[in-house]
């Protein structure tokens, strides 16, 4: 029994409690994410970095979690995000990191950290903001105003697959007023417009 206790202690000591951007990017490359999915993950990374600054958290860690959160999707679409959680755990990442990735899906894993709540809150919203951008003639997110998003939000036929109630609940759980939340994510995505393919080049 003492040997088992030492083994468990050693395992905890060697657990990785952080994830770097380079490590996240390596996983994306290893598991073959598509270009569109990479753009989504870059958008979520930007939003997570913005929220890390907002809350005074570790911007590098939060950004890396945002970047890596869907790395398993294209290889294991039927097992997402369970496959991603399993791979991260096998690589020795901490429960906080693994659970944040698992909790962005409907897995039953509780969103009991601010990190997990933020990831869940920004994930669905980025899709709506992409849709709002792509119906503009310029297809440039830097020209999108919050008022435009509000208008499209009210039109339930627009981007009908986006779960607006989920976004509302997620913002509330995060403790941020809905339209402040939308503004934070929108501004974050504007900052990476070229990287996520929303800089107007597609409209030319």
For residues 163 and 17, the answer to whether their CB atoms sit within 8 Å is no
Q: Considering the domain boundaries, does residue 7 fall inside one?
A: no
- pLDDT confidence tier of residue 2, bands split at 50, 70 and 90: very low
Mean pLDDT confidence for 162-173: 96
Please give the model's pTM, rounded to 2 decimal places. Answer: 0.91
Mean pLDDT confidence for 148-162: 96
- CA-CA distances (angstroms) from residue 125 to 47, 86, 89, 167, 170? 10, 26, 27, 6, 10
pLDDT for the residue 14: 67
| Distance in angstroms (rounded) separating the CA atoms of residues 125 and 180 | 12
Decide if pLDDT at 3 tops 80. no
- pLDDT confidence tier of residue 109, bands split at 50, 70 and 90: very high
Question: What are φ and ψ of residue 199, in 5° steps?
Answer: -105, 15
Query: Which residues does 147 contact at the CB level (< 8 Å), separation at least 6?
Result: none
| Distance in angstroms (rounded) separating the CA atoms of residues 66 and 88 | 14
Question: Containing domain of residue 147, as a range?
Answer: 14-203
Of 12-26, 58-72, 129-143, minimum mean pLDDT range: 12-26
Question: What are φ and ψ of residue 200, in 5° steps?
Answer: 95, -10
Q: Considering the domain boundaries, does residue 1 fall inside one?
A: no
pLDDT for the residue 114: 97
pLDDT for the residue 68: 97
- Closest C-alpha among 176, 188, 99 to residue 142: 188
pLDDT for the residue 7: 42
pLDDT for the residue 175: 98
Q: How many domains does the chain have?
A: 1
Q: Considering the domain boundaries, does residue 6 fall inside one?
A: no
Q: Considering the domain boundaries, does residue 8 fall inside one?
A: no
Question: What are φ and ψ of residue 43, in 5° steps?
Answer: -65, -45
Decide if pLDDT at 204 tops 90. no
Please tell me which residue, 123 or 4, carries the higher pLDDT value: 123
Q: Each residue of 10-59: pLDDT tens digit?
A: 445 568 889 999 999 999 999 999 999 999 999 999 999 999 999 999 99
Joined tokens for residue 63: 């950004």
Domain of 23, CATH number, reads 1.10.3210
Q: Considering the domain boundaries, does residue 174 fall inside one?
A: yes
pLDDT for the residue 8: 40
Q: Considering the domain boundaries, does residue 5 fall inside one?
A: no
- Closest C-alpha among 149, 155, 145 to residue 132: 149
Q: Considering the domain boundaries, does residue 4 fall inside one?
A: no
């Amino acid at each position: 029994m003492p040997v088992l206790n030492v083994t468990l202690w050693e395992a905890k000591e060697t657990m990785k409690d952080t994830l770097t951007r380079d490590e996240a990017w390596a996983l994306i490359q290893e598991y073959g994410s598509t270009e569109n999915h990479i753009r989504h993950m870059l958008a979520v990374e930007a939003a997570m970095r913005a929220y890390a600054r907002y809350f005074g958290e570790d911007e590098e860690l939060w950004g890396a979690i945002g970047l890596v959160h869907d790395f398993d999707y294209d290889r294991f679409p039927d097992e997402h995000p369970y496959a991603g959680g399993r791979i991260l755990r096998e690589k020795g990442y901490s429960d906080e990191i693994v659970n944040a990735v698992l909790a962005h899906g409907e897995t039953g894993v509780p969103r009991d950290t601010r990190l997990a709540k933020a990831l869940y809150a920004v994930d669905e919203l980025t899709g709506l903001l992409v849709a709002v951008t792509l119906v503009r003639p310029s297809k440039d997110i830097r020209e999108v105003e919050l008022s435009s998003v509000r208008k499209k939000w009210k039109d339930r036929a627009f981007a009908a697959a986006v779960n607006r109630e989920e976004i509302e609940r997620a913002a509330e759980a995060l403790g941020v007023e809905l339209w402040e939340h939308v503004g934070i994510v929108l501004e974050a995505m504007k900052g990476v417009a070229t990287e996520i393919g929303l800089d107007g080049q597609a409209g030319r």
